[in-house]
Amino acid sequence: MRGMRRATSCERSRSIACVGPAVPFPSWTWALTDPSDIPTACADGSSGVYGSTAANVVAFDRGFREPKSVRAAVDWSGPVLDNRVVLGMQGIVSNGFDQQGAVDINVRRTPSFTLTGEEARPVFADAAAIVPSTGTVSAGAGRVSAAFQSVVVERSDLAMRSRQFTVNLKPVTASGSLKWDFMYTWSRVREQFFGFASTTGDPFTTSWGTSLITPRHAVTLRWNDFPVFDLFYVTLTAQAVSGQRYTPMIARDVNGDGLQNDRAFIANPSTTRDQALASSMTALLRSASRSTRGCLEAQMGQLAERGSCQTPWTVTNLLQVKLNPQKLGLPRRATLSFNVANPLGMVDLALHGADAVRGWGQRVPPDENLLFVRGFDPATRRYTYEVNQRFGSTRPRESAAQSVPFLSLGVVIDLGISRERQVLTQRLSAGRDRPGTRANEETLKNLGTSSIPNPMAMIVSNRVKPEARFICRPSLPGLPARE
pLDDT along the chain (483 residues), means of 10: 43 70 74 71 66 85 94 95 93 96 94 93 93 91 88 95 97 85 97 94 94 95 90 93 95 93 94 91 94 95 95 92 82 84 88 83 90 95 95 82 80 79 79 80 73 66 52 48 48
Do the strands 369-377 and 249-250 form a parallel or antiparallel pair, or are they unpaired? parallel
Do the strands 148-171 and 55-61 form a parallel or antiparallel pair, or are they unpaired? parallel
Strand partners, 137: 130
Answer yes or no: are the C-beta atoms of 79 and 51 closer than 8 Å. Answer: no
Which pLDDT value is given to residue 173? 84
What gap in Å lies between CA 244 and CA 307, rounded to an integer?
9
Q: Is residue 82 in some structural domain?
A: yes
> What type of residue is 330?
L
Which pLDDT value is given to residue 30? 65
Q: How many structural domains does the chain have?
A: 2
- Say yes or no: 424 and 409 in one domain: no
What gap in Å lies between CA 367 and CA 251, rounded to an integer?
11
Q: Is residue 40 in some structural domain?
A: no
pTM: 0.78
Which pLDDT value is given to residue 452? 61
- Say yes or no: 370 and 432 in one domain: no
What gap in Å lies between CA 393 and CA 370, rounded to an integer?
11
Q: Is residue 437 in some structural domain?
A: yes
* Among 357, 392, 413, residue at a domain's last position: 413
Which pLDDT value is given to residue 424? 77
Q: Is residue 78 in some structural domain?
A: yes
What gap in Å lies between CA 359 and CA 335, rounded to an integer?
33
Pick from 122, 73, 110: nearest CA to 93: 73
Question: Residues near 110 by Cβ (< 8 Å), separated by ≥ 6?
Answer: 124
What gap in Å lies between CA 51 and CA 43, rounded to an integer?
9
Question: Residues near 358 by Cβ (< 8 Å), separated by ≥ 6?
Answer: 348, 352, 396
- Say yes or no: 297 and 438 in one domain: no
Answer yes or no: are the C-beta atoms of 361 and 351 closer than 8 Å. Answer: no
Answer yes or no: are the C-beta atoms of 278 and 269 closer than 8 Å. Answer: yes
The residue range of the domain holding 215 is 64-134+150-413
CA distances in angstroms from 287 to 67, 240, 284, 394, listed in the order given: 43, 26, 5, 13
287: part of which helix (H) or strand (E)?
helix 275-287
* Among 380, 397, 413, residue at a domain's last position: 413
SS3 355: coil
Which pLDDT value is given to residue 6? 46
